[in-house]
Chains A and B, each alone.
Chain A
Amino acid sequence: MATPILTQTVDLAARFPGMVTADARPGYTGFIVNKENLLEVATAVRDEFGFDLLSSLTGVDYIAENKMEVVYHAFKTTGGSGLIFKVQVERIDPIEIPSLTHIWHGLEFQEREVWDLYGIKFTDHPDMRRILMWEGFEGHPLRKDWKEAFYEEEVKPYKSRWPEGKHTFAEDKNPFHDNLNFPKDFDPEKYVVDKEEDLYASLERHTMKDEAGKMKTDSVVVNLGPHHPSTHGVLRVAVTLNGETVMGLKPVMGYLHRNHEKIGERSTFTQIIPYTDRLDYFNSMSNNFGYVTTVEKMMNIQVAERAEYIRVIMAELSRVQNHLVFIGMLLNDLGTMFTPALYAFEERELIVDIFEAVSGSRMMCNYYRFGGVVRDVSDEILQKIKDLVFDRLPAKTDEMERLLNENEVLVGRLKGTHVLSAEDAINFSVTGPVLRASGVPYDLRRADPYSIYDRFDFDVAVRHNGDMMDNYLIRFDEIRQSLRILEQALKQIPQGPINSQKPNYQIKVPAGEAYGRIESPKGELGFYIISTGKGNPYRYHVRAPSFVNLTAIEKICIGTKIQDFVALLAMLDIVMGELDR
């Protein structure tokens, strides 16, 4: 089943002479756009060239050249390779770039993130506040001259560990000694935490009058979370309400932020693999998959044949358990405590047992390596997977559908509650099942095939109403398609080596950049990596589907009832480990 790949080269430089130049740095692709012409070029990229889905935006700090760069990755929802364009600015504060949120609304959070972590201000952005760090935080952590607490060395491995590794506790070193920066005129004694005003000011507030025009009422602000069972972790959402109707909404995140990207830039390429497990901790196999494919792209290496099959098997098993748990937790959020969730968790346990047997850990699998996987799957475990895929999981999926699908209360709740239209979903860069449920058949396994997905016969699950019922049912469709892929992969899996490379903990990656993306169960999981030819990446960025999908939550929820908000949030299938990074 070969999928036609649309390869159309777009020459922006020829279309916009004088405004756009091709990026000529070795190992780099794409175009460099003048800051002044960015809006014009971006509009043409969307309307003229048809790159309707702007999947990723990120910053890069080229401190040696005294430059800051913002990189945009635009794709077409009809599939094919993307268009990369960049803007370069002098690294002198204040750094300002025009915001593109009016062209692609999905950039709202990503631009805020770049402001937060790089200090690049996007002019004309509707809500330019910090997003992951707290208001009042000083500095921009991803800049190359920013140092974290307990900073030891620029890159790992640290010299203090060997050969004279006398253990010291990090906490014994005074964290306030040499890398604590106070802003000018800051007195910690007089500091009062008073930064919530910005959040509430960003919410829309209304004063309404009744029909007679006599009684005035104000809208009410309600804070959901950060500790709330329906927010799937520590997410806080400030909502303005008119009665029960949501009028405005702002998510507040970053409670689980650990600067994953800075950790990545400090680590070697191999050391990053176990850290990616901690992104979307339900699907560590998929996260590994995305990261190693990107690095393999840069290294230009082939993956061992058997390993390709093992990778697909593990990633699809991961998708099956993710969607089952999604259904269970959705019902949990709708008020059906425990029964569906526990039924789903039973199957998840069995799948996770397999992950444990092959990789050694149930959730933090750390199983993929550059060129293959870490160890072979024994025939015994392969038989276990076959038992699940051929016997148990199809039956249990059917049982789950029998349990829920026709339940009148559930149908009444889900059917007709609008989530997203196709246009909005694309404009908000929403990917994954939510996009497909609104009628866009965009699945990276078909749209931009990676690994060996082009060998399997499966359909892209798609539904057309874009309501909650479709968002719910599409998960069952995807489980079925995953099982189809699994059946074929299990039948075709060949014998052979499981890694094309020799084990090496210090790989060197050729200089250049790469953006790799896979269809994770939650959407498009992208990795943007820049290497300078050394053992550590210069830039390591994760385009987390949970984070980008959450951009649409305000659009989705305005006008709905507060009770539905909980279910709509569950629909987006967010995981805080990935959202906060």
Chain B
Amino acid sequence: MFWQISIGENVQVRLLFVLNMLTAEEITEIDHEIALVPIRRAACIEALKIVQQHRGWISDESLRAIAEYMQMSPEELDSVATFYNLVFRKPVGRNIILLCDSITCYVMGYEKLYEHLKAKLRISFGETTADGRFTLLPNACLGTCDHAPALMINNELYRNVTREDLDGILDGYK
């Protein structure tokens, strides 16, 4: 990305910002996905996933960098990115709590877990703790209804969760 600054007449300074370019590692991973599909842009969701894996979320700058690499406009990519609920277009905390709010967990009392999390972390759904430790998100059915209520933190699934369990579980995430 270039910014051009004019200092007086005909004197121009160009600054190159590399902060938001894709890293070599990201590009390698994206290239792998591109090779698997007949149309380059078909790999765009994979590209979003890869960059999110590395950066935690997809900033506007990341989005533009991915779009350029995928030979798409930022609009075309953002149209896809904003459709899916697990592409994070806003910053998230170090750990993401996905609390299942679907039907069996409702029956089994997820709302009590939510109340507990709200009180303990002082955040509601969609929010991040002030220290950036947790982002709390509601999530549709986690497919483990015989062990409801359930939640996921990052890649870990927790089942038959009780209010009493919660504190211990959260302690494992810094």
Are chains A and B native binding partners rather than an unrelated pairing? no
Give A residues with C-beta under 8 Å from B.
Answer: none
Give B residues with C-beta under 8 Å from A.
Answer: none
